[in-house]
């Protein structure tokens, strides 16, 4: 095995994902590891893709959007991929801000109810 490849187990450990998650990413064609018999090996390309997948998940992007974004690089290159990312990031920031506002409202309502309940206790 080449030094620049990770085994299935090493990939799970490196990116802190479960085997089920890694298999699912392969199933939906986010990753395409090299296969030697029943073993899977992940080279630099797959590690780079996994880094991008993990970043996308951290920022709340749906897996299908991440998959489409990764395909842009293969079909149209780095510049098109970066341009698309900027557009996607702008939309995602709007969505995250909406979610943040909803969370802030829920926290305020919960605090008010908690305070009222505590006050009624006496």
Question: What predicted TM-score, i.e. pTM, was given to this entire model?
Answer: 0.81
DSSP 19: H
Domain ranges for the chain, please list them: 1-58
Distance between CA atoms of 43 and 33, rounded to whole angstroms?
7
CATH architecture of 1-58: Orthogonal Bundle (1.10)
Predicted pLDDT of residue 1: 47
Average pLDDT of the segment spanning 60-76: 91
Q: Residue 24 CB: number of other CB atoms within 10 A?
A: 14
Predicted pLDDT of residue 73: 85
**SS3 of residue 64 by DSSP:** helix
Distance between CA atoms of 70 and 48, rounded to whole angstroms?
11
């Amino acid at each position: 095995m080449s030094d620049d490849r990770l085994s299935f187990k090493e990939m799970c450990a490196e990116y802190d994902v479960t085997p089920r998650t890694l298999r699912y990413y392969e199933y939906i064609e986010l990753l395409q590891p090299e296969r030697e018999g029943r073993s899977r090996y992940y080279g630099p390309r797959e590690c780079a893709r996994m880094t991008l997948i993990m970043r996308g998940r951290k920022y709340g992007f749906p897996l299908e959007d991440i998959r489409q974004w990764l395909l842009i690089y293969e079909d149209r290159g780095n510049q098109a991929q970066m341009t698309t990312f900027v557009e996607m990031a702008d939309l995602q920031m709007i969505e995250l801000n909406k979610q943040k506002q909803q969370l802030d409202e829920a926290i305020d309502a919960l605090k008010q109810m908690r305070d009222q309940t505590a006050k009624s206790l006496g």
